[in-house]
Structure 1
Amino acid sequence: MDNSLSKPRKTERACKPCRDLKVRCLPSSDGGNICKKCQRSGACCVFEELKQRKKRKAPDDPTTVEALEAKLSDLAKQLETSNAQLQSLQGSTCENLSPDNPSLSSYAAPIASSSSSTQVADSGSVDQDEHVIEQLLGCGILTTDAANGYLLKYREMCEYSPFVVIPEGTTIESLRRDQPFLLHAVLAAASRENPDLQSTLERTVRERLLRTVMIEGEKSIDLLQAILIYLTWEHFFHVPKKRLFNQLLHVAISICIDMGLDLGPCEASARKAGLQLDHHSSSGGTPDDVFFSRAARRVYIGCYYLSSASAWVWRKPNNIHYTEYMMQCAQSLSKDPEYETDALILPLLRTQRLGDEFHDLLLPANLDYSCSSSSEQVQTHLRTFRAKLDELLPNEPSDCLPTSLASHLATSRAYEMDMLSKGTVNKERIGGANAPPTPSQHDVIMACLDSARCYVETFLSFPLSEYPKLAVPQWWGLIGSVYILYVLSIGTPQLPLWDVCVAREKVRLEIYLDLLCYRMQSITGSTTEAPAGRDLFSLMGPIFSNVKTSYERLKKLPQTASSMDAEPVHGTAFESEAKPRNKQIKPGRCPAFPFWSRTQSVTSPPVEAPNDMFAGFESIDPDMNFFHDDGSWLGDMSSVN
């Protein structure tokens, strides 16, 4: 039997409808110029002309090779021309720059470009820290004497953060050779008197730290110390839109864990898996040692101290857990100190732990303030806390300013009960909507008020020359203490029947704010109309000025308006006042607001509304309500961290 008749004959090519539908095209049985599918559907069966396909050239075709060689030659010429232009630009920049003309605005780009071209030319890794510092020294912007002066200044700053210390005999050359990251971070933190130089150093050290950690995956004590210094004095570099504090803090904590600093050499060596312990053997340690090097212990405790302080003031999670080994490290440094500042580490850590412990004890969730025995329990906790604090700080606290501030901040932390936290305002009123504070609760609030007052007064007792040396935990403590005084002086929805007159009689907040504004203006030269820079340190004076303006307005309102409003009271209390025309009014804008936005220039003066302080500033971010001057932006800065 002939099977050829039963099989459909295939066409030489598919018609356009079948090709578009990607179906098989079979000729019709009657032999016409139409396929079966088009015949059934009634479609127009069209056979298009075949297009001649372009023949591909073989990879080794001479014309292809010649074309690629020509392109490569052109690219090489362009690269040579670009390198020549960069070298000439760098040479002219070095000639124009001198110590008498220390402007670095046009210097930052040649540094980065030169560094990149050097890396390409050498086909290797270049230490960008050392390269930048060499460029600055070569052009006379940074002299060796100035660098040594910054080194001495940093040693003075260590009194307020004793977790990274530079030995007395250390020179710039030895740091450049052995600890380049540490040197770069020290110069960036201590060069406040030269803003252009500090800006360049900060940018380059930040880029170098992030590139080294995130791309190259390096982990070392030198790198960890540099990150800790950058974070400890980050108020000099704090531009909220670009703020990296929490990200870098998490990186530092992860490096601590990866290097086994939270375990000790013996336990870390026993675990082995996933831990990088080369730093211990390279410093002469053995697996049987109880502790890592002193530098490793300091930086480990320093990461915890910063993380805990951030959790206190900014309501951030503390991602490094306290362990008994941490306390043992602090005790070992105290018993066998290498430097004088080692004696500060143990009291700072113990004070911080004490504040955490009693904060948990006095939380309303853990203590029933409505029961009859609560007063006795509270008094017992208060007496125990004071006794333990006196035991931790046997000397007069005022003898040592860092421990004095730490003790007042720990006391505020212990007594605050989370009732002044922005995160809990308007969510739950302790004791019911109309219940006044119980006597025991009143005692705790008064103790919190007194500790915040003591912190601000101690801060104001510092000589002005000490302010640039202060570390970021001390500035955070000031912001938190002012916030406590502020909300207790104008009222808080958490305590609707709290008598604000008690706070106003005990604390003259307007005087404190006046002094803070005057002092910050004397140091930074910043005013509300013309801030000296975008960083938090420069903006501190204008911020406190706005808090003072807000406080003077809000304390004129009835207490019920301050304490019972579901929304920030200043947002509705002054709606009847005159406002500038053609302006969308947002009352009480913080004067720092235009400098927290990339769209504003530092040199642009703020626009002031006649009867509504800084109302002309327009928000470009939908989540910027914390800038309203009810002080909530002091307590809820988490949205910019």
Structure 2
Amino acid sequence: MNPSEDPEIHSDGSEESDDAAAPKARTVRSSRACITCRRMKTRCEIDEALGNACKLCIRARRQCIMQDLPRRRKRKTTERVADLEQKINALTALLSANESNSPVDHKKLASAHGDSTGTSASKVQTLAKPDNTLIAEALSRGLFTWETACKAFERYKNEMCRYFPFVVFASGSDAAAVKQQQPLLFFAVITVSLASMQTTVDAELCDMLIKDLALRVVYTGERSLELVQTLIVHILFYGRAKNMRDLNFNQMVHIASTMALDIGLGRRPHKSTLTQRTDPHQLESLAGRRAWLGCYYMGTSVSMSLRHPAFVRWSVYTEECLDVLSDEASVLPSDMWLCDLIRIQHIAEDASVTFSMDDPGAIVTLRDVKIQYQIRGFRQQLDYWRRHAKTDLTLPYVRHVAACTDLFIHEIALHPEHDIDDLRSPLRTALAPPAAAVESMTSKFKDLHFIPARVEALFACLAAIHECFDAFLSIGFASMCSLPNIFFVRTGYAARALRKLLNICDSQAEFEGRSHVDVRDLKFEEYLTAIIDVLRRVHAQNNSVVARAFCLVLSQIKTQGLNSSKLLSAMKRADEAATTRSRVSPTSASSMPSNERFDLPCLHSDESQQSQRTESLTYDSGDLNSAPPPQLPHDQIPLDAQTQAKSAQWLENDTDDAFMSGIDVLQWFEQDLAFDDPAAYDYDSQLTARYWQQ
């Protein structure tokens, strides 16, 4: 046989017949060379008329052997691609279920991919959980109807979000559209809105929301702008779950801030375009900027109140967000107040850093001229903010925020030698300090109480406290029931500051025989009584646990202030004597004591100092000419037997309120601290329906 006709010699690697393989061989030979030509690096030319052998092999009379083609293996799909395909199928099923508004059967979705592994099946089942499961479950269980949900959404959109407009909706937003696009955020809005009304399902809804957030954030590690907004709404109107022992709003704030940083908020992008700002799904949208400003505000507020180092600080991106929200044509009306709110918060943040509010061991004293100039600088910044704020400054909640900021920048005047730890609980008693410690404390008061800068700062604190109380009491009752928790927290902070001012007045009268601040000007009992009454009414209206907590705490502050203050006791005895005399010659008297001076045997002032609002109070327990008896400092005064019996549980729990923190007051509620008997304040068992309606 001719070698050129031998099929085994010129094999092309195919198992088919020669007739079927001839065209394929010619195609292959046209682009390949035989083994001999490849070794000799010569051109392999095939003459079809002579057969399948090349010309060089025919001329040399040798076999023309072609190398077999490697058989290509069929490309297999990797496990990752298969997993992605399963996820796509699961998401497709979810979209179909959402469009039909029918609940999704998780078992059917999990069984649709029977060839997947156990891990993949669990992932599919986790992802198969629709975002509106909470709403569907609440509706199916009859916790609320769709009409109630729409009313609650309108309540949040029109009333509740105006105080801190971090998560807002346009006036034309429809509840059904928000439910379809952001179901988890919609459920959070419904939860906080129903909690501000007299409902019995708010605790159940809050429990459902917290469990779902824990599953998404901690277990599955989800991150999205919607989750950040949901956390912000939950923190502003914080309510804890049924079985939760301790409050964890501080952790929730940091979770929201960390998630915002993880998804790209908090920093400027490389390329900022108009499309990125207007697209609602872009992180650089207006909603994303509002969410980041909310993280900044809550993070700095918590760090200032708890005296922790700030996790979120002012940045260039924060300033850029304010510029965008101020200049954009498509901004909402609430963005104007949002920008003013963040700017005044920046002033408070700078004051916290300047005065080392997170470091009790720092040396900050008003005898330092630099500190005095810094306080004046913050006053000027606050005045500049008031002049250039675009928001109506007569609104009660705006006045409240401004007054609390004013109090915070002057707070160091309440602490001699930056001793923040001197703010102990009013119910705390301790052993008498040694004589050297008393002398050191006395010299400290002598050095500081007569510094004009500190006296000026104390009067600024008093004015800020009264402005805070007036703003809080001027809020309508309907609006009071829908206030965010931070308003109650800061009102408690102002009450603690007023209690500290009362301690300063008593200490000055005790050690020096006179006080620069008139104790009547504090209006301690009048303001606290009015605020406690408002908090009781709020709790009776919507069963607010926050209002109840601060009602109890302010009652504690009021009771212990009245029991421990010698000046207030002397004033009460003088008022009783005046009432007795008025029975003989009745005169008109106002319910709220004014700034008018009365001739009390225990309170005397220098008329030359009265014009400068630095009235000096002479302390005497009975005789005008008698020397003041030696007494302990007011935070060391032993309580009477009745008060000691009531405060036993309080004292057993070593709660440190040294930082004058309103948020600490909120954390006391139902934690390790046990309040005095609520019945002592006619709060629980002794309260009747008629009393709550007053």
SS of equivalent residue, structure 2 residue 143 = coil
Residue 636 of structure 1 and its aligned partner are, at CA, apart by: 4.4
The worse-fitting range, judged by mean Cα deviation, of 504-513 and 451-460 is 504-513
Q: Can you list the C-alpha shifts for 1:499-535, whole angstroms capped at 9, x where unaligned?
A: 6672522221211111112112222129xxxx957x3
Which residue matches 1:403? 398
Residue 188 of structure 1 and its aligned partner are, at CA, apart by: 1.2
Query: In the alignment, residue 163 of structure 1 is paired with which amino acid?
Result: F
Q: Can you list the C-alpha shifts for 1:122-158, whole angstroms capped at 9, x where unaligned?
A: 9613547622322322343311110001001111111
Which residue matches 1:547? 557
CA contact (8 A) 1:261 1:296 kept: yes
CA contact (8 A) 1:236 1:536 kept: no
Which residue matches 1:152? 154
Which residue matches 2:383? 387
Distance 2:172 2:309 in 1: 39
Distance 1:338 1:481 in 2: 34
Q: State yes or no: 1:203 paired with 2:207.
A: yes
SS of equivalent residue, structure 1 residue 469 = coil
Q: State yes or no: 1:573 paired with 2:639.
A: yes
Residue 359 of structure 1 and its aligned partner are, at CA, apart by: 5.3
Distance 1:521 1:639 in 2: 19
Query: In the alignment, residue 514 of structure 1 is paired with which amino acid?
Result: T
Q: Can you list the C-alpha shifts for 1:198-254, whole angstroms capped at 9, x where unaligned?
A: 111111111111211111111111110000000011167799833121111111111
SS of equivalent residue, structure 2 residue 481 = helix
Which residue matches 1:447? 460
CA contact (8 A) 1:182 1:222 kept: yes
Distance 2:332 2:496 in 1: 36
Q: State yes or no: 1:234 paired with 2:225.
A: no
SS of equivalent residue, structure 1 residue 540 = helix
CA contact (8 A) 1:370 1:431 kept: no
CA contact (8 A) 1:235 1:472 kept: no
Residue 459 of structure 1 and its aligned partner are, at CA, apart by: 0.7
CA separation of 1:501/1:149 partners in 2, compared to 1, >3 Å: closer, same or farther?
farther
Distance 1:143 1:245 in 2: 29
CA contact (8 A) 2:348 2:405 kept: yes
Distance 1:226 1:250 in 2: 14
CA separation of 1:258/1:486 partners in 2, compared to 1, >3 Å: closer, same or farther?
same
Distance 1:440 1:351 in 2: 23
CA contact (8 A) 2:306 2:661 kept: no
Distance 2:403 2:543 in 1: 31
Q: Give unpaired runs (5+ residues) of structure 1.
A: 1-113, 270-278, 286-290, 580-586, 588-611
Residue 168 of structure 1 and its aligned partner are, at CA, apart by: 3.1
CA separation of 1:566/1:128 partners in 2, compared to 1, >3 Å: closer, same or farther?
farther
CA separation of 1:493/1:127 partners in 2, compared to 1, >3 Å: closer, same or farther?
farther
Distance 1:544 1:150 in 2: 31
Distance 1:566 1:118 in 2: 73
Q: State yes or no: 1:625 paired with 2:655.
A: yes
Query: In the alignment, residue 214 of structure 2 is paired with which amino acid?
Result: L
Q: Give unpaired runs (5+ residues) of structure 2.
A: 1-103, 113-120, 424-436, 570-618, 621-627, 672-694
CA contact (8 A) 1:492 1:562 kept: no
Corresponding pairs, count = 468
Distance 1:631 1:308 in 2: 16
Distance 1:292 1:563 in 2: 66
Q: State yes or no: 1:424 paired with 2:424.
A: no
CA contact (8 A) 2:253 2:295 kept: yes
1:362-511 superposed matches below 5 A: 369-370=366-367, 377=373, 380-381=376-377, 384-393=380-389, 397-398=393-394, 400-417=395-412, 419-420=414-415, 423-425=420-422, 432=444, 434-437=446-449, 438-491=451-504, 502=517, 504-511=519-526
Which residue matches 2:331? 338
Distance 1:625 1:376 in 2: 32
Distance 1:407 1:618 in 2: 33
Residue 546 of structure 1 and its aligned partner are, at CA, apart by: 2.6
1:582-593 superposed matches below 5 A: 587=644
CA contact (8 A) 1:369 1:440 kept: yes
Distance 2:629 2:201 in 1: 46
Distance 1:332 1:633 in 2: 34
1:268-417 superposed matches below 5 A: 283=280, 292-336=284-328, 337-358=330-351, 369-370=366-367, 377=373, 380-381=376-377, 384-393=380-389, 397-398=393-394, 400-417=395-412
Residue 338 of structure 1 and its aligned partner are, at CA, apart by: 2.3
SS of equivalent residue, structure 2 residue 227 = helix
Query: What TM-score do the two structures reach when normalised by structure 2?
Result: 0.59
Query: In the alignment, residue 182 of structure 1 is paired with which amino acid?
Result: L
SS of equivalent residue, structure 1 residue 424 = helix
RMSD of aligned residue pairs (Cα, Å): 4.3
Distance 1:625 1:142 in 2: 40
The worse-fitting range, judged by mean Cα deviation, of 434-443 and 416-425 is 416-425
- Structure 1 or 2, whichever has the larger Rg, is 2
**Which of 170, 180, 184 matches 2:183?**
180
Query: What TM-score do the two structures reach when normalised by structure 1?
Result: 0.63
CA contact (8 A) 1:334 1:346 kept: yes
Residue 343 of structure 1 and its aligned partner are, at CA, apart by: 0.8
CA separation of 1:264/1:152 partners in 2, compared to 1, >3 Å: closer, same or farther?
same
Query: In the alignment, residue 133 of structure 1 is paired with which amino acid?
Result: I
Give % identity. Answer: 17
SS of equivalent residue, structure 2 residue 532 = helix
Which residue matches 1:257? 261
Distance 1:464 1:236 in 2: 24
Query: In the alignment, residue 294 of structure 1 is paired with which amino acid?
Result: L
Distance 1:455 1:476 in 2: 12
Distance 1:636 1:396 in 2: 31
CA contact (8 A) 1:412 1:452 kept: yes
Query: In the alignment, residue 143 of structure 2 is paired with which amino acid?
Result: I
Query: In the alignment, residue 346 of structure 2 is paired with which amino acid?
Result: R
Which residue matches 1:23? none
CA contact (8 A) 2:492 2:662 kept: yes
Query: In the alignment, residue 404 of structure 2 is paired with which amino acid?
Result: L
CA contact (8 A) 1:232 1:471 kept: yes
CA separation of 1:562/1:203 partners in 2, compared to 1, >3 Å: closer, same or farther?
farther
Residue 366 of structure 1 and its aligned partner are, at CA, apart by: 7.9
**Which of 205, 212, 218 matches 2:216?**
212
Distance 2:501 2:379 in 1: 23
CA contact (8 A) 2:223 2:263 kept: yes
Residue 368 of structure 1 and its aligned partner are, at CA, apart by: 6.1
Residue 115 of structure 1 and its aligned partner are, at CA, apart by: 10
SS of equivalent residue, structure 1 residue 502 = coil
Q: Can you list the C-alpha shifts for 1:104-131, whole angstroms capped at 9, x where unaligned?
A: xxxxxxxxxx999999889613547622
Which residue matches 2:530? 515
CA separation of 1:168/1:227 partners in 2, compared to 1, >3 Å: closer, same or farther?
same
Residue 183 of structure 1 and its aligned partner are, at CA, apart by: 0.9
